[in-house]
Amino acid sequence: MTHASSPSHPADRGAQAPLSPDDARTLPADIAGLREWLARGRLSRADALAAQWAQARAADAACQSVVRWHESGASAAAPHAVGTDTATAGPLSGIALAHKDIFAIAGQHAGCGRGQPPAPVADRDADVLTRLAQAGAANLAALSMAELACGSTGESPWSPRPVNALSIDAVVGGSSGGSAAAVASGLCYASLGTDTAGSVRIPAATCGLIGLKPTWDAISRQGVHPLAPSLDTVGILARTVADAALVYACAAHTVAPELTAAATTPYGIAEWLSAPRPLRIATHLPPAPPDDEVISTLQAFIARASGDHSVHAVDLPQLDALSRLAHVVLHFEAAAAHRALLQDPDAQLGASARAVLIPGAALPEAWYHDALAQRGPRLQAFVDTVFADADILLVPALPRPVPDWGTVTPGAPGFDVHQLLALHRWMPFVNYLGLPALVFPIGHDRRGRPVTAQAVGRPHAEAVLLAFAHRYDRGAAGMSIPFPSARASSATLR
């Protein structure tokens, strides 16, 4: 397979002859490359969307992520039409995305990982989908997810298990597992998910992707079916940091003005992220034997980062307490949000959903209010201590290598509860505090599976996290997306 070349610098933006299917067999590996093709006239917006549509259809046969296609003309709403040049000429014009099946779309049910959708038919799109549409993005499909967003894996009893592009045996984390599988397989460049206790960051880590969980209030949750509203955060999965940054710049309420300005040109985001920024990095690694694959890879990455930044180790004695408080809030709010399902004897809730909802119904309300009362003071204490002399806190994403499905699936012969719990060990404290966090790959274990780091920042420090990770991003290296022929694309669209 040939690879599409993406210029390292947007020097020559002059128009070129349109690209014919005989001249290339791949779409660019990242959004910036496709935007460059569009800007130079190498590909029309309609042809670019048709090619992405056809590629998505082919990729889904492998990743099993799509639960509902948004066919051209299936909705009167502009965001869902993929074969037209009528969208705005925004930063995402000509870019087709697909998203977790938890976002409201006018005239449709959000399936939320269930055979019987818990959400009513929506009268309008979720705010975040509207923002992306205003930036020019098309919406290809709704993607599978763990039932009601409950679970550390992407498995649901109501849909096929999503397939990890790295290995059919490797787990796809959850609950935004369909989004991760889709992005990793080349079905789409990026995807929105939700993160309540790691549900964007865990699948990003298992699939070797970029997973951005923004500050709690950075992206609107209007039209997003709730699990635990004070923890739920709309997040982004992408193959490169620059792609994640661009989607974030288009999706969020308030973004650094420099990032918004950079989004106006194809490579502006990458250039802005690449500017030298010496940072202060606080690190915290759990004790582990010297041959531990994850910790040794993290140690090597920290040593590398120390050549670019000021690095020092910190203790996090509050981590366990923060995680416990996060779980109190999660279980209590989830049970309240889905009380009708809990009380319905015919609801047929799956095991993962029951494991989240039922404990919440039994929790004393006083525990929940106490956890809420502690949140503000604990956030202030965390910021005052950890970020007093640091811009970023660097911790593991997954403390163990990416496991096989069989080790994290209850009832399977090789099930190991410790492997399952490890998937979200380093995640819930971030949601409880409402902080931004970014998961990104830093190496591989002996089986070739990704080892990932998690960078945590102060509230609304997303741009700092993105700039830090971008320096070490290898996400687009060697990637290509098959470019379907014009005839195949047109046939698919008809």
Separation between Cα atoms, residue 346 and residue 64, nearest integer Å = 28
| Mean pLDDT calculated for residue range 353-357 | 96
Check residue 26 and give its pLDDT: 81
Task: Answer whether residue 345 is part of any domain.
Answer: no
Task: Answer whether residue 450 is part of any domain.
Answer: yes
Task: Answer whether residue 15 is part of any domain.
Answer: no
Residue 48 clears pLDDT 80, i.e. is over it: yes
Q: Side-chain half-sphere of 181: how many Cα atoms within 13 Å?
A: 34
| Mean pLDDT calculated for residue range 18-45 | 81
Residue 491 clears pLDDT 50, i.e. is over it: no
Q: What is the DSSP string of 344-400?
A: -TT----HHHHHHHHHHHHS-HHHHHHHHHHHHHHHHHHHHHHTSS-SEEEEES-SS
Structure tokens at 4: 């599409």
When comparing pLDDT for 129 and 486, which is higher?
129
Task: State the CATH number of the domain containing residue 109.
Answer: 3.90.1300.10
pLDDT tier for residue 291 given thresholds of 50, 70 and 90? confident
Check residue 256 and give its pLDDT: 86
Report the range of poorest mean pLDDT among 15-24, 62-71, 256-265.
15-24
* DSSP tally for the chain: helices H, then strands E: 18, 13
Task: Answer whether residue 98 is part of any domain.
Answer: yes
Asked if 284 contacts 393 with a C-beta cutoff of 8 angstroms, the reply is yes
φ/ψ of residue 52, rounded to 5 = -65, -40
**C-alpha 32: how far from chain center:** 18
Residue 1 clears pLDDT 80, i.e. is over it: no
Check residue 119 and give its pLDDT: 85
Strands 233-238 and 210-213, by their bridges, are antiparallel
Look up the pTM and report it: 0.91
Check residue 437 and give its pLDDT: 98
List of E strands, 151-199: 190-195
Structure tokens at 403: 């496991």
Task: Answer whether residue 249 is part of any domain.
Answer: yes
Residue 280 clears pLDDT 70, i.e. is over it: yes
| Mean pLDDT calculated for residue range 277-283 | 96
In what helix (H) or strand (E) does residue 311 lie, and over which residues does it extend?
Answer: strand 310-313
Asked if 105 contacts 129 with a C-beta cutoff of 8 angstroms, the reply is yes
Size of the chain in residues? 494
Domain containing 233 equals: 26-319+365-493
Task: Answer whether residue 186 is part of any domain.
Answer: yes
When comparing pLDDT for 427 and 4, which is higher?
427
Residue 82 clears pLDDT 80, i.e. is over it: no
pLDDT tier for residue 47 given thresholds of 50, 70 and 90? very high
> Please, which residues have CB within 8 angstroms of residue 237's CB and are 6 or more apart in sequence?
176, 179, 180, 183, 190, 191, 192, 193, 200, 203, 204, 209, 210, 211, 212, 244
Asked if 191 contacts 140 with a C-beta cutoff of 8 angstroms, the reply is no
Q: Which of 31, 17, 62 is nearest to 4 (CA)?
A: 31
Residue 116 clears pLDDT 50, i.e. is over it: yes
Task: Answer whether residue 9 is part of any domain.
Answer: no
Amino acid in the structure at residue 453: A
Could you report the per-residue pLDDT of 124-182, keeping only the tens digit for each? 999 999 999 999 999 999 999 999 999 999 999 999 999 999 999 999 999 999 999 99
Separation between Cα atoms, residue 465 and residue 456, nearest integer Å = 7
Task: Answer whether residue 326 is part of any domain.
Answer: no
Report the range of poorest mean pLDDT among 72-81, 185-194, 403-412.
72-81
Report the range of poorest mean pLDDT among 62-71, 398-407, 468-477.
468-477
Q: Side-chain half-sphere of 130: how many Cα atoms within 13 Å?
A: 15
Average pLDDT, the chain: 89
Could you report the per-residue pLDDT of 392-433, keeping only the tens digit for each? 999 999 999 999 999 999 999 999 999 999 999 999 999 999
Check residue 71 and give its pLDDT: 76
| Angle (nearest 5°) at CA 424 between 422 and 425 | 60
Check residue 18 and give its pLDDT: 52
Structure tokens at 424: 């979200």
Check residue 76 and give its pLDDT: 30
In what helix (H) or strand (E) does residue 56 lie, and over which residues does it extend?
Answer: helix 45-63
Check residue 33 and give its pLDDT: 96
Asked if 93 contacts 189 with a C-beta cutoff of 8 angstroms, the reply is no
Structure tokens at 64: 């099993």
Could you report the per-residue pLDDT of 199-256, keeping only the tens digit for each? 999 999 999 999 999 999 999 999 999 999 999 999 999 999 999 999 999 999 988 8
Q: Which of 247, 251, 221, 264 is nearest to 102 (CA)?
A: 221
What is residue 260's three-state secondary structure?
helix
Domain count within the chain: 1
Residue 58 clears pLDDT 50, i.e. is over it: yes
Place of tokens 């102060």: 458
Residue 51 clears pLDDT 70, i.e. is over it: yes
Check residue 53 and give its pLDDT: 95
